[in-house]
Amino acid sequence: MRKSVKISLIAVFGALHAVLYFLSFGLWRNWAIYIEAIEGITLGPQAGFAAALIGSSIARMVKFDPLWMFGIVAEPVSVLLAGFLSQGKWKPAALAYAGMLLAYFAHPFGRMLPLWTILDILFAFIIIYPAAKLSKRLYGTGLKQMSLSLVLISFVCTATDSLVRVFLLIPAGLHVMFSDFSTFQNLQNIFELAALSSYIEDALVVVVSLVVGVPLLIALSKLGFFQKVKQR
């Protein structure tokens, strides 16, 4: 991809990322999670990371969020791992997951909180390898093959967003900065409510990927946008 095109796409996706943040309402994360996988797949890990970082940072400068540090870290990292998976690189994602999960279970709160609250994250960890191996199917025009690959990468991407936030909240110790988490019981109540919302968001991300992501990738593929990727 030419440098000028890459910079233009970073700006476009960064702006879209910010706009979706402004439009958000409903569940606990903002609407930018619905394009994180597409950012990573279209731009690749480095450029995708830059677009998400720029978009998430600008959005929170304009519209302040007291939990700003979670999104500014989680969203770019999720795009980064989606970009790696789309290129068939499973090891960076697996290592990131293994490190954050080990830190979570090493923390007393991680061992005390119900396991059901992170089942989607654990499932995403399991499917990292097949998601990466199926990534070449993203760049053809076969609807079924592309849909399966995109669904797997999108699911891992949104679960990564959750995992990074969980890592920052508990092993990294950011829970001590907020009065809402002043006791373990308060933390558990909020954590369980967020987990329920996450499962709904996981399903919504998959639906959006199928309805919006697949047609977009097919169109870009037919235009030859992914030609070099297909030949790797």
pLDDT in tens, the chain (232 residues): 567 778 888 999 999 999 999 987 777 788 899 999 999 998 999 999 999 999 999 999 998 888 889 999 999 999 999 999 999 999 999 999 999 999 999 999 999 999 999 999 999 999 999 999 988 777 765 777 888 899 999 999 999 999 999 999 999 999 999 988 889 999 999 999 999 999 999 999 999 988 988 888 877 777 666 654 444 4
Domain span at residue 168 reads 3-230
Overall number of domains in the chain: 1
pLDDT of residue 180: 85
Exposed, middle or buried: residue 142 (CB in 10 Å: 0-12, 13-18, 19+)? exposed
Cβ proximity of 55 and 18 under 8 Å: yes
What amino acid occupies position 200? Answer: I
Exposed, middle or buried: residue 218 (CB in 10 Å: 0-12, 13-18, 19+)? middle
Q: What are the start-end ranges of the E strands in the chain?
A: none
Using a CB cutoff of 8 Å and minimum separation of 24, what contacts does 176-180 make?
178/66
Integer Cα distance of 100 and 125 in angstroms: 11
